[in-house]
Amino acid sequence: MSGIILDKRYETEQGTISYGSAGKGEPVVLVHGTPSTSYIWRHVAHRLAERFNVLVYDLVGYGQSQGNPEQDKRLRSHAATLSALCQHCDIRHPHLVGHDFGGATVLGAHLIEGVAAKSLTILDAVSLNPWGTPYAHLVRDNPDVFQELPEYVHLAMVGAHLDTATFHKLAPDAYNVYLQQWAGTEGQEHYVKTFRDFDFAFTERLETLYPTIRIPTQCLWGEHDRWVAPDVGTRLADMIPDATFELLPDAGHFSMEDIPGTIATRIAAHVDAAS
């Protein structure tokens, strides 16, 4: 399912994390967002694993990481879980890389949970209020309606949303991985809960802390991102001391699907410079 096999398990209060690692060298942790899985890193991870020790995992409640029925899917919970996973794996000074929800997750892990990261790479990230597409807010504001949709309607809507995530057409294998995790009654419940648990208070708190970041930080954004506008990335970079921003041509929100080679190259160069 991933460039790196998720062959390890870690039990947390929120559920069971499936994770895996490959390679040797500086530790690099890749964190996906919603509604994807760690599969989104497959083309990036194997390139990075040629030079670094790369860890990938599915956020609890996504992909192969089974969430508890009452799982807290707020961003603050994902940040705390990332911190716990780093401790469990004895990764003391990781280079954290986060996309979408994963961006807020790594920022929170560093700024609030105290993960002593060496560097940050933030891609097309949920990071500044307000965030969320109009569709996402529609689900959030009407959870009971979306929970009761027939499955074929639910999956058609999720699929249509995924169709807007990339600049180039999303590969069928990736489309199916991201879509099928939300199939069935349980999948639909988890999908709706993800939107219902949008954590604007957490990103509001993060905004006050961005000026305190003292580690190398790069912000990478797809020029054609229709989910989180590129100006969010420029504003985020302006709030973080000495952060850099790069607009990536030929890429949408799922930039690692559109241009994985470029993403891997940018991450590797950033890790090298910060090591």
CA distances (Å), origin 237, targets 68, 92, 123, 233, 275: 35, 25, 11, 6, 21
| Torsion on CA atoms 74, 77, 79, 82, rounded to nearest 10 | -130
Instruction: For residue 162, give both structure tokens.
Output: 């995924």
pLDDT at 69: 64
Q: Is 134:195 a contact under the CB 8 Å cutoff?
A: no
- Residue-wise pLDDT for 137-152, tens only, equals 999 999 999 999 999 9
Tokens standing for residue 176 = 């199916």
Domain 8-132+199-274 class in CATH: alpha beta
CA atoms within 13 A on the CB side of 69: 1
Sign of CA dihedral 193, 166, 80, 113: negative
Residue 1 scores a pLDDT above 50:
no
pTM, to two decimals: 0.96
Where in the chain are the domains?
8-132+199-274
Q: What's the farthest any 2 CA atoms get from each other in the chain?
A: 51
d(CA 190, CA 59): 12
Q: In what order do the strands lie in the sheet with 27-31?
A: 8-11, 16-22, 53-57, 27-31, 95-99, 119-123, 217-222, 244-248
- For residue range 190-236, list pLDDT tens digits in order: 999 989 888 899 999 999 999 999 999 999 999 999 999 999 999 99
- pLDDT tens column, 83-140: 999 999 999 999 999 999 999 999 999 999 999 999 999 999 999 999 988 999 999 9
Residue-level length of the chain: 275
Phi (first) and psi of residue 241, to 5 degrees: -55, 125
